Amino acid sequence: MEYRTEHDSMGEIQVPAEKYWGAQTQRSYQNFRIGTEKMPKEIITAFAFLKKAAAIANFRLGKLDEEKLNAISAAADEILAGKLDDNFPLVVWQTGSGTQSNMNVNEVIANRGNAIAGKHLLHPNDDVNKSQSSNDTFPTAMHIAAVFEIRQKLIPSIESLIKTFKRLERENQGIVKSGRTHLQDATPITFSQEISGWRSMLEISLEQIKTALPGLSRLALGGTAVGTGLNAPKGFAEEAAKAVSELTGYSFQTAPNKFHALTSKDELVFMHGALKGLAANLMKIANDIRWLASGPRDGLGEINIPANEPGSSIMPGKVNPTQCESMTMVAVQVIANDTAVAFAASQGNFELNVFMPVLIYNFLQSVRLLAEGIESFNIHCVSGITANKEKMRYNLYHSLMLVTALNPYIGYENAAKTAKLAFKEDISLKDACVKLGFLTAEKFDEIFHPEEMI
């Protein structure tokens, strides 16, 4: 491999000749050989947007000339197009402010911009990082990345699954089945009512996620090192937020209190709480579906789900609820990530949080897993659910909790005696009620209509 010599305030260092990164990136690359978790690509994309936006703001305020603006913009556009992906090698486990990843982007944009210009035009600190600090750019990148991933990937996947459940509700109208509480038989419910509960869980989670979005639209950019805005021209924060909005198509505003924006991460904690709530709901829905599909002969067997792949290496013909298992594992990871997000947000001292890389790594992993997990669950499982009407009817008419319909006629205690006798002697509720002398067979038939108990 060929190398070139780069330098920073600490001196000279050798950098791979074919890469656009510089000295500070190389030092981090050599000093933090920890794990396999790279800085998320979503953060690099967000940095490309904010660096271009910062250049536009500096140009509008007379702090950067048009030639440098064009060079920065061209390099940033190449990052957004994925042309420079192999120039961002740094791991999550670096400085807690994300300084090294900020400088990684600065150096790549400067060196690539210089190559585009055909001369030494840009300096990574003086031009690409003008009016900025890692302390305000990294939290800004966190918010931009979070908004992008939630709006572009997670929300559409939730909406699609809601649409599928609405279709299943329509298709299963009027099918009465046994309800269940405490994993025990309960009074009847329609299958469409059961599905509506799942659908509503997702709708409420979606509402909570949308409620948390405005907080993520507030950007730290303009606070520079400690929130005072040192070395940023007057109006930079507002112009930068305006430029980010123009470039991304989403509405962003400058954070009203930069001291808060640098040191606190409560907007991300709040949003991840909504993601945790979604994960909890998905865990419940996936578990319900695999319980209802259990069997095919020795379980509940009330619904059919798609058979996607063989379920066992030793038991021929076995098919497992693999999409449900995948969805519940995603939920476990997201719920665990919430601990990392909250704990990271609680750390740091005085004017800066220094756990930002690990926080955003876990946050974005949660969004990614939820979006892709929901899409897979929807396509390969939920969309193919059908009702096993015969099994539902069989279970319904063998449920002892149908005895609840007799309460107004024979009283709670006599109804309980009827259920216990039916269970003990393995006879029907009707036979037990008549045997105990509580009702005649004719009267029982007159008042006992499970379909009307919903």
- Write down the H helix ranges in 346-440: 356-380, 389-397, 407-410, 412-425, 429-435
Residue 312 annotated to the active site: yes
In the chain, the percentage of residues whose pLDDT exceeds 90 is 95
- Write down the H helix ranges in 150-232: 155-171, 191-216
CATH number 1.20.200.10 given to 136-176+189-388: yes
- Residue from 200, 251, 312, 346 carrying the catalytic annotation: 312
What does the buried/exposed string (b/e) look like for 166-194 if buried means 16 or more CB atoms within 10 Å of the residue's CB? eebbeebeebbbbbbeeeebebbbbbbbb
For domain 399-453, give its CATH number from 3.40.250.10, 3.30.70.980, 1.10.40.30, 1.10.3720.10: 1.10.40.30
Domain segments of the chain as ranges: 3-130, 136-176+189-388, 399-453
Q: Which of 157, 144, 135 is nearest to 202 (CA)?
A: 157
**pLDDT at residue 431 is higher than 90:** yes
CA 108 to chain centre: 30
- How far is it between the farthest Cα atoms of the chain? 102
What's the mean pLDDT in 279-308?
96
Using 50, 70 and 90 to split pLDDT, how confident is the model at 454? confident
What's the mean pLDDT in 260-289?
98
Contacts of 129 by beta carbon, 8 Å cutoff, 6+ apart: 102, 103, 106, 137
Query: How many helices (H) does the chain have, and how many strands (E)?
Result: 17, 8
What's the mean pLDDT in 95-101?
98
In the chain, the percentage of residues whose pLDDT exceeds 70 is 100
Residue 182 annotated to the active site: yes
Cβ atoms within 10 Å, residue 308 = 14
What's the mean pLDDT in 283-304?
96
Is 14 strand, coil or helix?
Answer: strand
What is the phi/psi pair of residue 283, to 5°?
A: -60, -45
Integer Cα distance of 273 and 279 in angstroms: 10
Residue 430 has a pLDDT of 94
Residue 309 has a pLDDT of 87
**pLDDT at residue 311 is higher than 90:** no
Residue 1 has a pLDDT of 87
Using 50, 70 and 90 to split pLDDT, how confident is the model at 170? very high
Contacts of 46 by beta carbon, 8 Å cutoff, 6+ apart: 140, 141, 142, 144, 145, 148
**pLDDT at residue 416 is higher than 90:** yes
In 281-380, which ranges are E strands?
Answer: 303-304
What's the mean pLDDT in 329-345?
98
296 prior amide bond cis, ω within 30 = yes
Task: For residue range 54-80, list pLDDT tens digits in order.
Answer: 999 999 999 999 999 999 999 999 999
Helix (H) or strand (E) holding 53: helix 41-60
Residues 421 and 435 sit within 8 Å (Cβ to Cβ): yes
**pLDDT at residue 129 is higher than 90:** yes
Cβ atoms within 10 Å, residue 204 = 14
Is 441 strand, coil or helix?
Answer: helix
Residue 206 has a pLDDT of 98
What's the mean pLDDT in 185-196?
97
Integer Cα distance of 168 and 237 in angstroms: 49
Would you identify the CATH topology of the domain 3-130?
Fumarase C; Chain B, domain 1 (1.10.275)
Integer Cα distance of 369 and 362 in angstroms: 10
Residues 201 and 128 sit within 8 Å (Cβ to Cβ): no
Residue 96 has a pLDDT of 98
Q: What is the mean pLDDT of the chain?
A: 97
Residue 213 has a pLDDT of 98
Task: For residue range 133-159, list pLDDT tens digits in order.
Answer: 999 999 999 999 999 999 999 999 999
**pLDDT at residue 315 is higher than 90:** no
What's the mean pLDDT in 92-112?
98
Q: If phi over 0 gives left and psi between -120 and 50 gives alpha, with beta otherwise, what is residue 222? A: left
Residue 312 has a pLDDT of 84
How far is residue 346 from each of residues 40, 43, 272, 353, 359, measured CA to CA in Å? 22, 21, 14, 8, 10
Integer Cα distance of 215 and 337 in angstroms: 20
Task: For residue range 217-231, list pLDDT tens digits in order.
Answer: 999 999 999 999 999
Q: Copy the structure tokens of residue 102.
A: 């900020």
